[in-house]
Amino acid sequence: MAETHRSPHFHDTYRAQRSQLATITNSIPDDICRKIFDLVAACNMEMVPSLLLVSRGAQTWMTPLLYEVVVLRSHVSAQRFLHTIRLKHAAFFLNHVKSLCLTSKIDCGDASRILRACANVVNLAIWFPGSLPISASTTVQPRTLSITIFSPSSIPNLSHEPTFALPLFSRVSHLTITDPFEQCSKIVELSLLPCITHLELNLARGTSCADPILLFISSCNKLKVLVLLVDFVTFMRGPKPLSRHPLCVYYERGLSKVTTWEPFVRGQYNRWEEAENIVQARKAR
């Protein structure tokens, strides 16, 4: 990697600009200054780290925004986040982390500790290939949940039958199962989720799930929309028994999980809302 060379006066200029900006913000009433910062952050979240450098007041206002959405992609990022958790008051992460994503590269023990620290998350993604890092003592109660698989083995220390008695499932209205769904007979069991209204399934190639899906829909009177991710090339060649069902909306699979999840929790793109609008348009015909 080529070395970056800066002007000898770079740091002096940078310090002068910071000092000038701090002077300006100190002359503006706090409530107006905070509105300006909030507006900048809403328009461009990438600006938030820079805003932290302006003043101590800015740090107080902006730091919670940095932790509203936490995406941990590696063991190192999880370790750093746990270090930050130890440095701050426990209430900080309970109050400010609204969306949390834990990928498969994170140690299960680290994931459990992070879930305890961020127990008030509204949007949760746990993309572990095997058992979920949860137990009967896990108190997190998200409204939207994204998991890689759903099977009895994905929930440790429980009976062989899937159970939704855990707090993790008690408030879930929007459930996404990201890996290709092959256990079609298990789909109907998802109707036992007490608050489920939106479901997204990634259908495996060559898997016929029409009958179990129809049984699930008939068993779940709260359901508003069912998003089905398919490979469109394969989909267009084969039978499409669900294509006319008013609650089923097909999407092309292909985007990475984070690419879909993060824009949703940041309010940039809502596939759930888009699919629900399609369903409503069908009903209005």
Residues 61 and 52: their CA atoms lie apart, in Å, by: 9
Q: What is the pLDDT of residues 89-124, one digit of tens each?
A: 999 999 999 999 999 899 989 999 999 999 999 999
Compute the mean pLDDT over every residue in the chain, rounded to the nearest whole number.
Answer: 79
206: alpha, beta or left? (left if phi > 0; alpha if psi -120 to 50): left
Q: What is the pLDDT of residues 244-260, one digit of tens each?
A: 899 999 998 877 788 88
Tokens of 167: 């707090």
* 3.80.10, 1.10.287, 2.60.40, 3.30.479: CATH of 67-284: 3.80.10
Q: What is the percentage of the chain residues whose pLDDT exceeds 70? A: 67
Contact 69, 265 (CB under 8 A): yes
Residues 137 and 53: their CA atoms lie apart, in Å, by: 39
Residue 30's contacts (CB-CB under 8 Å, 6 or more residues apart) are: 57
* Cα end-to-end distance, the chain, whole Å: 59
Between 108 and 208, whose confidence is greater? 108
Residue 111 identity? A
Q: What is the pLDDT of residues 139-165, one digit of tens each?
A: 899 999 998 876 544 555 444 444 567
Tokens of 126: 């746990």
174 by DSSP, 3-state: which? strand
The pTM for the full model equals 0.78
Calculate helix-pair angle for 30-43, 56-66, nearest 10 degrees.
40
Residues 1 and 45: their CA atoms lie apart, in Å, by: 28
| Other Cβ atoms within 10 Å of 136 Cβ, number | 12
Contact 216, 191 (CB under 8 A): yes
Q: What is the pLDDT of residues 8-54, one digit of tens each?
A: 444 454 455 455 545 545 556 566 665 666 665 566 666 656 655 56
